[in-house]
Amino acid sequence: MNNYIDQLSIDCVVFGYQSKTLKVLITKIINIDNCYALPGGFILQNEDIDIAARRILNERTSLDHIYLDQFKAFGKNNRRDQRFIQQVMENQIWNTNQSGIKIDLNWLDKRFVSLGYYALVDIENVVLRKSEIDESVDWVDLDKVPQLIFDHNEIISEALVELREKFDKKLIGFNLLPSIFTMRDLQELYEVVYDTPFARNNFQKKILDLNVLERLEKKYTGAANKAPYLYRFIK
C-alpha cells in the first residue's frame, strides 16, 4: 500500500436534491450484512487531496466537474469501528481496488484520520457506479440515513452544519438544481435546506436583488397567464 498515504482517508458527503428532499449518497459495503458507509477512499502518494476527493467521487457518480468543499478532518483516536474492520478481515473483500492495486489488509487495520468533503450535485446528472468494495451505491433521504460505520453519521451532521453556513453566503445551492428552474423551485430548495418556510415575496426580492439570476422565457404549463418565469444562475 505504498501507493497510498498511510492512515489518511477521505470521506465524502454528496448532497443531492429531488422531490423536495435533500438526499445523500450512501454505499452498501459488499459481503457484509447491513454495512453502510459514506463514499470514501485514499490519497495517492503524489496526489493533491482535492484531486483525490474528485477521483473518489468520480468513481461513484461519473461526474468530472463537481462542487466540492473540504470542511473538516475527523481524527478522534477511537473513531475506528473494530467490528467492521474484523468483518472486512474475515471476508477478505478488500483484496483489490479499482486501480488493481493490492490492498494489504494489515494496512487497513490501523487508526485513520479522515478528511471530510461535501459535494453538491444535480441528481439528474449523476450516473451511479460501484467501486469494487460497494455492493450498491444509492441516494438516501437525509432523514432516513441508516447507522453508518465509523463516525460517518457525525460527518454527515457536520457537513450539514457547514452547508447551511455556506449556502446563503456563497450561493452554492444552484449546484443542486438543474441549470434552469423557477423561483418556486429555488424557494423550495432553500426551505428544505434550512428546514423553515420563507415568505414568497421577501424571498423573491432578496434573491433578485443579488443580481445573480438571468430571467428566461416563461415555463410552458398550458395555462399561459399563470405560467412562472424560468431562471438561470449567472456564474
Query: Minimum Å distance from CB 115 to a second copy?
Result: 5
- Residue 91 CB contacts under 8 Å (≥ 6 apart), including other chains: 31, 32
For 171, left (φ over 0), alpha (ψ -120 to 50), or beta? left
Task: Give the nearest distance from C-beta 36 to a second copy in angstroms.
Answer: 25
**DSSP H helical ranges for the chain:** 49-61, 82-91, 105-108, 152-169, 183-194, 200-209
CB of 17 or CB of 150, closer to a second copy: 150
Strands 4-18 and 113-120: parallel
Q: Would you say 110 or 184 has its CB closer to a second copy?
A: 110
| Residue where the block lists cell 435546506 | 193
* 228, three cell numbers: 412562472
**Smallest distance from the beta carbon of 51 to a second copy, in angstroms?**
8
| DSSP output for 162-201 | HHHHHHHHTTGGGGGS-SEEEHHHHHHHHHHHHTS---HH
Give whichever of 50 and 188 is closer to a second copy, judged by the CB atom: 50
Closer CB to a second copy, 70 or 87, in the complex = 70
- Interface residues with a second copy (CB under 8 A) are 5-8, 43, 45-50, 70, 72-73, 75-77, 111, 113, 115, 165
Nearer to a second copy, 46 or 201 (CB): 46
- Closest distance between a second copy and the C-beta of residue 69, in Å? 10
Q: How far is the CB of 209 from a second copy (least distance, A)?
A: 22
CB of 92 to a second copy, least distance (A): 25
Other CB atoms closer than 10 Å to residue 114's CB: what's the count?
A: 21
Q: Which CB sits closer to a second copy, 134 or 151?
A: 151
Report d(CA 61, CA 52) in Å as an integer: 14
